[in-house]
Structure 1
């Protein structure tokens, strides 16, 4: 089979690494890809926002399956346009991708189909939003309705923080994403990420993970796109996973099918495990980043047949197998992230890091500059390791981090701390 993978980040490098290992994969193209994906297939300079160009490429190269990595092309309807051209694509169509594209859409779906989530209110007027926050008090969560590259959620500890977030969003700080805001109660508990794959009619579970959103050690500082992750998440027991499937994932798939907008692709549920049970914080319509970087090394099954079964509505015949080992990834970012960063600093030592057993370095924001690897964004490398325990994976990952020579970069030193503490207590 000829495969086309859409995207350029760490998630896509992890997917390219997994897809290229499939016996079904004859050729893998990545658009636009990065220096890491170039080792897994052929990077192509394709404007993925130009859907007609993507369709033409697929026809010219006899592409059998398109895998869409990031959320923006899904929300923009790339899968719809590929389907109309008779090209098989893994990922939800535009209508179903609103699960990620619109926070309000997802909250209303939860309300309609009885899916447990935080109490919420929607606002298109800044004054009304401010009044609601003053009445409700803090802590409280303010979310931009649309896509905001991981920067559209503010967990406000004070009313003032909430009002500042509201002013920023309505003031255009997040562009069109902030023209409507959703304000939610602040759930208390432990966060976890749970992944499933849906085929429009049903869904099967994949695996769990936990990520670290805050930029600094001890979960301090501003939220980011994710500074590291590990899998599995110890809080997600088999009984809890069954409850999430029965109360959250399957009702979502059934609800969307009942509305006439069936969901095909990865369902990434951001959860809060509360005293009342699991509640949905938000959905993403694709693999997480950096969660994908710890899921792919743990997946024993071939990913390509699973994706094909989802596209063909045949997931009930699929059984996805996983290695028992844990995986952990440490994100190395350019100093200044999540604020403004300077591009172009040289990174050395990647080969030395990957020389360690059970270590993979996934490229996220890198560029090949005449044979040198340079930083080309905020989150730049994902140093990933596996081990019998999270602690073992953590030790290996940080041993690999120590081999990376990049003075302009930084990372957290405590990725996996919660799971390691659990293991040490057990």
Structure 2
């Protein structure tokens, strides 16, 4: 990641605070008169969708906000790696929708199966059809099954991806617990773009921590479809310092790109013809915007969703906004924090559009904390702005490589505080103790 020279971390944090305060002012501006029947439907109850629903309702309580989410309890991908590392219980990933419901948001536990942009309706799996004035999609990602030969939904029950928190995460944890000491854990890392760029490497770190405590003779092999990854130098410095030679990373140019998977045998084959045997195999396949994005017409040939960076409105379908992992929003990463800040901008744009007002000039923030050991954290953070109708990095950078142990300990604490704060901001409740 690039770091803006001469821009200190203290200045960056101060700027984040100012930006957050400015966003709060924007969202608290009194709403203009509009019909009381304004209908906004939000699809997806994760970091993007739940944030958007809350902030639309907060800005204008007269808007009828419906949030469509099949899960009655939402389990977050952020911090699920700590569960794999034995540092959290799975229940600590759980969030309910009770507080959003208490704010006057109608929560509908169902699956959105189709959008009719002409009729401006959303069809639900159980048969209902919901009309909207504005629609916000935060559908997340789907796995590109068969992008790796042999890897499909059935194979994922043997070699889990665990890239959507829930049963897959629990399955991977069960496999790690059952693996004998001295076994090999293989993680297949995908090509760009994909959800949570530092996530596979934090996962490896947490598995290494678990192995160091319970299976110290075990090895970890990362087979990567890339030649570089987020916070690479910080991760690799820490791996060598804490875990020695337990972790091996093989980049694409050295034979890391996997092209074939045999989930039953725990075997993978690379494009160089090498085969690798795993005791536990974690395949994170290539990804794309979730199916509803394609059905509704907001996704393009890239398999992702192009948006207007000022409002996060779809470039292809009127009155539809898309936030989070499904979007083309580079250089912003596909992260929970990015979805949260995008959703706040989209929420303000929707309320303004319903009252005939122009959108405000947005700014965006993102911070990704990664835990490498219980008291060893690293981070990357950036501010983003819109320039010539393009999202651009305004400032930011990564943790310094030469930081001392106290700095790393505080980074770990900041990461935990971030998760608590964003959980409260989105779902209205802190994580379960």
Q: Shared fold by TM > 0.5?
A: no
Give the TM-score normalised by the residue count of structure 2: 0.30
Give the TM-score normalised by the residue count of structure 1: 0.31
Q: Tell me which structure has the larger Cα radius of gyration.
A: 2
Higher RCO, Cα 8 Å, sep 6+: 2
